[in-house]
A and B are shown apart, each in its own frame.
Chain A
């Protein structure tokens, strides 16, 4: 899709040179935009360091440098007005702000610290062996089937088992987790038809989520119980512990599922890259990083200005929503060489798929561990990973992924 920009003259109260901000009328939440957003992102980036999305009355940053600048100045570009399109300071929201994702300092730090401890690399080491065992189980089952779905059979099945077990929720009813995550991530965009449709069918799911986030429903040693232990220690209230269990389930599952799915799709579509990984499974971690750069799960979200400011020479008033183009930054040729090329040998770290700064994804190390283990297991056990049909895109206002990827897989000779 092609979207031309018009120019928007900034008000010039002091008679200074009027900088112009390119204006785009395109809807970044429309199906045809989301099907292949990358040409539009390129147009956004090329138009200027800061642009406007007139349809949503928001500024937007799509280049790596400005996305990073916005994310690392939380005092100017805050999260407490909501990381979605709704400005909590001005508009009434149907949902309660997240107490971690949508909190600013000093409220943010103490909660962040608790999650950091629970999800630290040291804590994750204890889970690795079981995560590896489960990956082998799911990959072997795909090989037995021969023709399978890389999304349902692996990208969805694996985190629904290992991550949900790690949080400590019951095995029964986990099918609710996918529509729940879908609802949460749709809610960061506009209240459009896609969102309304999810919301209309969310009743039973919301009821189930509420039940399983309670202290009694959780296994004694999981992340969820560790949050309640923090409540017992006086570091959180009981309600905050419940909300953070819920946050783990919304933030930690769909995102990983889509990332694993994007990895499977990217590798199936690039046989030469798959061959590199298959021949050297130690590339798994680097390959995952490149998947996140190339096809970022979190495409975009918002920050809100707390004060009048200037970004790359553009004046922005207080209380303005800024669309933060994560996936676009990860394909910015100003930062990446040949950015449209999927290349698992490149140094892809420094990509912004997990965000950065104080709100950089707190679960990124467990997500990396899941991704690395899955890709390594595939590389160790699978010889051929070939599309048996086109992938089906899953439309969501904020996250990008697929709902099906038919595959033919064969076992590696042992």
Chain B
């Protein structure tokens, strides 16, 4: 099973396995990743499941959706070209790394 490495704001890392196709936000919540808040439960409405997906992993995901694009402007920590809402992403079939912002609200 492929795994996700979460790079936490203090630089420490935590890895969890995830089935391909699993929702990344829900996987992070199940793994108790602090600062993935996901208040809206996955409707792309709250921007509190913001993650940074750097290359080469970014290319494993479909482009930013139109509603996701609007919502990323509300992310508490600055938006970058790597910004995604983890509720909109599903696990690819290989290992990935996600950087977690320090604040979500």
- Total A-B pairs, Cβ < 8 A: 65
Name the one of B39, B43, B73 contacting A356, with C-beta atoms under 8 angstroms: B43
Known: A109-B67, A116-B70, A121-B74. A361 touches B43 (CB 8 A): yes
Q: Is the CB of B42 within 8 A of A349?
A: no
Can you list 29 A-B pairs, Cβ within 8 angstroms, ordered by A?
Answer: A109-B66, A112-B66, A112-B67, A113-B67, A113-B69, A113-B70, A116-B44, A116-B45, A116-B71, A117-B70, A120-B47, A121-B47, A121-B74, A122-B73, A122-B74, A349-B37, A349-B39, A351-B41, A352-B41, A356-B41, A357-B42, A360-B42, A361-B43, A361-B45, A364-B45, A365-B40, A365-B45, A365-B46, A368-B39
Residues of chain B with a CB closer than 8 A to A25's CB: none
Q: How far is the CA of A361 from the CA of B71 in the complex (A)?
A: 14
Q: How far is the CA of A355 from the CA of B66 in the complex (A)?
A: 20
Q: Is A350 an interface residue (CB 8 A)?
A: yes
Known: A364-B43, A364-B45, A365-B46. A349 touches B70 (CB 8 A): no
Name the one of B29, B39, B67 contacting A116, with C-beta atoms under 8 angstroms: B67
Residues of chain A with a CB closer than 8 A to B29's CB: 350
- For the complex formed, measure the closest distance between the CB of A353 and the CB atoms of chain B, giving whole angstroms: 9
Interface 0/1 of B40-75, CB less than 8 Å to A: 111111110000000000000000011101110110
Q: Is the CB of A360 within 8 A of B73?
A: no
Q: Is A110 an interface residue (CB 8 A)?
A: yes
A109-B65, A116-B71, A364-B40 given; name 14 further pairs at CB < 8 Å.
A109-B66, A112-B67, A113-B66, A113-B67, A120-B47, A120-B71, A121-B47, A350-B41, A354-B40, A354-B41, A357-B42, A360-B40, A364-B43, A365-B40
Q: Is the CB of A349 within 8 A of B71?
A: no
Within 8 A of B (CB), among A102-121: 109-110, 112-113, 116-117, 120-121
Interface 0/1 of B16-32, CB less than 8 Å to A: 00000000000001000
Q: How far is the CA of A72 from the CA of B74 in the complex (A)?
A: 23
Closest 7 CB pairs of A and B: A360-B43, A122-B74, A121-B74, A116-B70, A120-B74, A113-B66, A117-B70
Number of A interface residues at 8 Å Cβ cutoff, please give it.
26
Q: Is B91 an interface residue (CB 8 A)?
A: no
Q: How far is the CA of A113 from the CA of B67 in the complex (A)?
A: 5
Q: Is the CB of B41 within 8 A of A110?
A: no
Q: How far is the CA of A164 from the CA of B16 in the complex (A)?
A: 46
Q: How far is the CA of A357 from the CA of B23 in the complex (A)?
A: 12
Name the one of B39, B43, B70, B71 contacting A357, with C-beta atoms under 8 angstroms: B43
Chain B residue nearest in CB terms to A72: B42
Give the interface residue-count category, chain B. Answer: 20 to 34
Interface 0/1 of A151-195, CB less than 8 Å to B: 000000000000000000000000000000000000000000000
* Listed residue (A350, A352, A355) with the most chain B CB atoms within 10 angstroms of its CB: A350
Residues of chain A with a CB closer than 8 A to B37's CB: 349
Q: Is A81 an interface residue (CB 8 A)?
A: no
Name the one of A113, A116, A356 contacting B42, with C-beta atoms under 8 angstroms: A356
* Listed residue (A121, A349, A356, A364) with the most chain B CB atoms within 10 angstroms of its CB: A121
Q: How far is the CA of A355 from the CA of B29 in the complex (A)?
A: 19
Residues of chain B with a CB closer than 8 A to A110's CB: 66
Q: How far is the CA of A361 from the CA of B39 in the complex (A)?
A: 12
Q: Is B38 an interface residue (CB 8 A)?
A: yes
Residues of chain A with a CB closer than 8 A to B44's CB: 116, 360
Residues of chain A with a CB closer than 8 A to B69's CB: 113
Residues of chain B with a CB closer than 8 A to A116's CB: 44-45, 67, 70-71
Q: Is A362 an interface residue (CB 8 A)?
A: yes
- For the complex formed, measure the closest distance between the CB of A347 and the CB atoms of chain B, giving whole angstroms: 9
Name the one of A112, A117, A121, A349 contacting B41, with C-beta atoms under 8 angstroms: A349
